Amino acid sequence: MLDGKRILLVISGGIAAYKTLDLIRRLRERGAAVRCVLTKNAQNFVTPLSVQTLSGEKVFSDTFSLTDEHEIGHITLARDCDMVVVAPATANLIAKMTTGLADDLASTALLVTDQPVVLAPAMNFRMWENPATQANLAALKARGVRTVGPNSGMLAEGEAGMGRMAEPSEILALVEGLLAAGPLRGVKALVTSGPTFEPIDPVRFIGNRSSGKQGHAIASALARLGAEVTLVTGPVRLTDPAGVTTVHVETAREMLGACLGRLPVDVAVCAAAVADWTVSNASKEKRKKEAGAPPPAIELAPNPDILATLSESGGARPHLVVGFAAETERVLEHAGAKLERKGCDWIVANDVSPATGTFGGDFNTVHLITRAGTEPWPRASKADVAERLAWRIVDALGGHKGEQE
């Protein structure tokens, strides 16, 4: 909770500014007082009236407003808070922060503040990938500025790529994790994510369509709540989550070895889509197609069962082991059977048939299956699913925090 905490929210000019209305609501529900600064361009996307109505506070935008300067002053505005959150943080405002420009109230407040600063970048993917933007972010991070997002997906221009502002739930979780002690402080967590690639030869492999978005989101959510998180991920096209120790692997055996090497932990969440089989007769050279010759036979052998192994790891068993069941039919039946077969504590069941768009998409519809029963969760972004699961883990661990230390 954020009872008594004061947040200065800087809203800059981007289409993602509309999301800040939800962020304001969530911050206030957690007990925070929210004071907002709107840039001139931000007012093209959200109105001062809507922001003022949701925040319950006067909205600031003009450095030279005599009334504002008399009542509060831009220096007081920037310091009379516990944290400054910039959402969305445009490429332009990030550049201003890096060089120390102060040509409006937002950039002036950011230059003068002595409080922690959190950025939620949002921009076109080409702006995000531009070396200038990446250099600016690296410089700000070196000064202690924290970032959340951006995420990958459809952008306002109709293009797809990295640049979507983090969801309000993600921003809220980071703010809470930084300002509060963190309900998972002292907890060690292990998360697996993405697919595994099982080589056929040095060029080809057996794999699956997992994007790793759900597993990465879970690792981020746990870290923002204060946990010490290790993410073991197969090959994905995602940036490593902030505040998380990330281990990159390729095969199921490599993933198992990395997981066992991180024990003991308090909680393990196995969200990776691990290949069931590996190629036992993988070639060290590229297999050639020869005219008239039959295709080479591929011999399969079972891969190690990471979820079952962690669930049966004796004295090193995590207090809570959570598995995922990616199914295309009879989802609850197959997931319930997996809970019993693997020996884990919870199963998160989701339908990954092509029509759902779950694999590679940004949304998920899941059921949480525990020994006590099945909970259907509404369709939500993968970030929101991750946050909800993280808070359920908080409740489940209770007095077991840090037991494995």
In this predicted model, what pLDDT tens digit does every residue of 233-249 receive, in sequence order?
999 999 888 778 999 99
Q: What is the mean pLDDT of residues 335-360?
A: 89
- Is 206 annotated as contributing to ligand binding? no
- Is 304 annotated as contributing to ligand binding? yes
What pLDDT sits at residue 283? 94
- Is 276 annotated as contributing to ligand binding? yes
- Is 114 annotated as contributing to ligand binding? no
Strand, helix or coil for residue 367: strand
Length of the chain: 405
* pLDDT per position as a tens digit, 84-116: 999 999 999 999 999 999 989 999 999 988 888
Residue-wise burial string across 197-209, b where 16 or more C-beta atoms lie within 10 A, e elsewhere: bbbbbeeebbbbe
What pLDDT sits at residue 66? 44
What pLDDT sits at residue 199? 97
Q: What is the mean pLDDT of the chain?
A: 89
- Is 288 annotated as contributing to ligand binding? no
Q: What is the CATH number of domain 188-400?
A: 3.40.50.10300
Bridge partner list, 321 = 268
What are residue 400's phi and psi, to 5 degrees?
Answer: -90, 5
- Is 15 annotated as contributing to ligand binding? no
User: pLDDT band at residue 404, thresholds of 50, 70 and 90?
Assistant: very low
- For residue 195, give the DSSP letter: B
- The 3-state DSSP composition of the chain as helix, strand, coil percent (nearest 5) reads 35, 25, 40
Query: Can you give the residue ranges of every domain in the chain?
Result: 6-179, 188-400
Bridge partner list, 205 = 199
* pLDDT per position as a tens digit, 152-179: 877 766 677 788 898 998 899 888 878 8
Q: For residue 353, what are its two tokens?
A: 């048939």
One-letter identity of residue 271: A
CB distance 127 to 159 below 8 Å: no
Statement: residue 182 has pLDDT above 50? yes
What pLDDT sits at residue 400? 57
Cα(48)–Cα(315) distance, integer angstroms: 57
- Is 213 annotated as contributing to ligand binding? no
Q: For residue 24, what are its two tokens?
A: 């304001």
The pTM (predicted TM-score) of the whole model is: 0.61
What pLDDT sits at residue 399? 52
Strands (DSSP E) found in 266-403: 267-270, 277-279, 300-302, 320-327, 346-351, 363-364, 366-370, 373-376, 380-381
pLDDT, greater one: 203 or 157: 203
Task: Give percent above pLDDT 90 in the chain.
Answer: 61
- Is 401 annotated as contributing to ligand binding? no
User: pLDDT band at residue 285, thresholds of 50, 70 and 90?
Assistant: very high
Q: What is the CATH number of domain 6-179?
A: 3.40.50.1950
Whether 124 sits among the annotated catalytic residues: the reply is: no
Q: How many CB atoms lie within 10 A of CB 290?
A: 9
What pLDDT sits at residue 351? 87
* pLDDT per position as a tens digit, 54-71: 999 999 987 655 455 555
What pLDDT sits at residue 224? 79
* Residues contacting residue 281 through CB under 8 Å, at least 6 positions apart: 297, 298, 299
Residue-wise burial string across 332-345, b where 16 or more C-beta atoms lie within 10 A, e elsewhere: beebbebbeebebb
What are residue 115's phi and psi, to 5 degrees?
Answer: -105, 165
Q: What is the mean pLDDT of residues 280-286?
A: 94
User: pLDDT band at residue 405, thresholds of 50, 70 and 90?
Assistant: very low
Which residue stretches of 265-401 are H helix?
306-311, 331-342, 382-397
Options 41, 92, 130, 208, the catalytic residue: 208
Q: What is the mean pLDDT of residues 9-25?
A: 93
CA gyration radius for the chain? 23
Statement: residue 76 has pLDDT above 70? yes
